Amino acid sequence: MTEYGKNEYDVIVVGAGPAGLCAALYAGRGMLRALTIERGAPGGELLNTDLIEDYIGFESIKGWELSQKMAEHAKKFGAEIVTDNVERIRKADDGWFDVATARGTTYRAPTVILTAGGTPVKLGVPGEKEYAGKGVSYCAVCDGAFFRGEVLAVAGGGDAAVEEADYLTRYAAKVYIVHRRHEFRASRILQERAFANAKIEVVWNKTVSEIVGTEKGVDHLVVLDTVTGGRSTLKVGGVFIFIGFKPNTHLVEGHVKHDAAGYLITDERMMTSIPGLFAAGDVRAQLTRQVTTAVGDATTAAIAVEKYLAALREQEKAKTKAAAAS
């Protein structure tokens, strides 16, 4: 039986979104001593999503409700979840990982499952920083209700942008979707829903080049035509930005193999190029990023951790036996 010191575990799960909670559940089922660290409430991006309609078994469920169900299920199997912000994951000379947090605690384990998701990609234009929280938002569910009766803009053309534009119409008088291309990248069902919504108008071949406001908040956008290079203005009371996420892989100290966008490359066990470091969900390089793929990754990672730890124990036994024989 493993002897644990203070703040020592078999596995540390970093992040408690769908992937993290699923990993915690399976670690509990596997009778592993596991710790899950989450900077906020469990749920991750589910908490920023109004309706989930593509998670098998639930035709339609609120994001917060699915988060709650997942957290309760994980805790039923003994998941230990602490609220803290992980600042660094480093593999020490003894082969264990040191996971340092903002509150000054360092947790240790021979394995880590990184499920820390990502952070919204910024437009990087004048006015974005100045009007953050004053009309500039990255979360429709969080802030949509503050814009009742307003004319809004959504920047982006993927699933998140089109879905959140549709969501915002329940509050806004009108929603522009500003997209740099002449067609969306979003799934067909989301596109059809947006095109059928009388409150949505698509502004094709345009990018937001500046966000202009007053002391009251956002007043209008300056948009650039990607075809002609011309500029025009769009009168709006707020802009919601959904142009992608940057994976939170910067937490790992040392080089880990990743793709051009920074997503971690794993093998079929979800293990990264650093032995003992596993990745699941939005931090991992893959074709699509959905709740279903996140929990699938996490299931594989947690079971792989069990086998990895068993192999480590066998290696230790073999070393001890060899040392005794010599």
Residue 245 in contact with residue 120, Cβ under 8 Å? yes
Rounded CA separation 13/242 (Å): 27
What pLDDT shows up at residue 274?
A: 97
Task: Mark whether 142 is an active-site residue.
Answer: yes
Task: Mark whether 22 is an active-site residue.
Answer: no
Query: Mean pLDDT of all residues in the chain?
Result: 94
> Pick from 137, 154, 128: which is nearest to 213 by CA?
128
> Pick from 284, 266, 285, 287: which is nearest to 275 by CA?
266
Task: Mark whether 139 is an active-site residue.
Answer: yes
The stretch 124-137 carries a mean pLDDT of 95
- What tens digit of pLDDT does each residue of 148-195 get? 999 999 999 999 999 999 999 999 999 999 999 999 999 999 999 999
What pLDDT shows up at residue 322?
A: 86
> Pick from 88, 171, 102, 185: which is nearest to 137 by CA?
171
Q: Select which of 10, 22, 143, 297 is catalytic.
A: 143
Q: What percent of the chain has pLDDT over 90?
A: 85
Whether the per-residue pLDDT at 2 is higher than 70: the answer is no
Asked which of 110-119, 154-163, 284-293 is least confident by mean pLDDT, the reply is 284-293
Higher pLDDT, 5 or 272: 272
Q: Select which of 50, 54, 98, 139 is catalytic.
A: 139
Q: Which domains does the chain have, with CATH numbers?
A: 11-120+245-325 (3.50.50.60), 136-241 (3.50.50.60)
Beta bridge partners of 52: 61
Q: Are strands 238-241 and 151-155 parallel, antiparallel or unpaired?
A: parallel
- What tens digit of pLDDT does each residue of 232-248 get? 999 999 999 999 888 99
- What tens digit of pLDDT does each residue of 295-310 get? 999 999 999 999 999 9
